[in-house]
Amino acid sequence: MSAPEETAARKEPAASVATLGGGCFWCTEAVYLRMKGIQRVVSGYTGGKVANPTYKQVCTGLTGHAEVVQITYDPTVVTFEQILDVFFHTHDPTTLNRQGADVGTQYRSAVFFHDEGQKAAAQKLIEELNASGEFDAPIVTTLEKLETFYPAEDYHQDYFRQNPANPYCRAVVGPKVSKFRKRYQALLKDDDQKPAKEKK
């Protein structure tokens, strides 16, 4: 790469990455795909001891993995702190290893931090939320250093948009997306202001 090209490349806004586990990744993915500044969301697995785990293996709860989403975002549009705020308010961070009827360590609430800055930001917000008394119980979200992230099978990607009539999507994912839209209207992508297309 020549010097001019190198300089130009450094001027491009750097994309940042966050990895979060908030129960079933269909829910978490559906929320962040609708958020301004989010460039890409990939459902997958991390936090376990088995290489290249399958969905079936992770669902046993024996591999140690959590269902997560890996979010690529533009930090000039949305901050990591904003992403965390959405995270804590669109799932229940006070229930250990469960979200509703989904039970097991694979559904744990977790922030898989990429660096010490992310870890500190998450810890700070957890302390603030606990002190505020906003939740009825203490937050049990774990802070775990990201190791290897494994993308989930293709059929899990963009699952809610691809399967709006699925009973789980109607009963669980849909309400989470509605909760996000109601609380975070200013953070909705312009093309997602009207949810009618999902009301089938």
- Tell me which residue of 65, 72, 42, 39 sits closest to 153, measured CA to CA: 42
Residue 169 a catalytic site member = no
Catalytic residue among 24, 27, 59, 169: 24
CB 67 within 8 A of CB 45: yes
Amino acid at 99: Q
User: Catalytic amino acids?
Assistant: 24
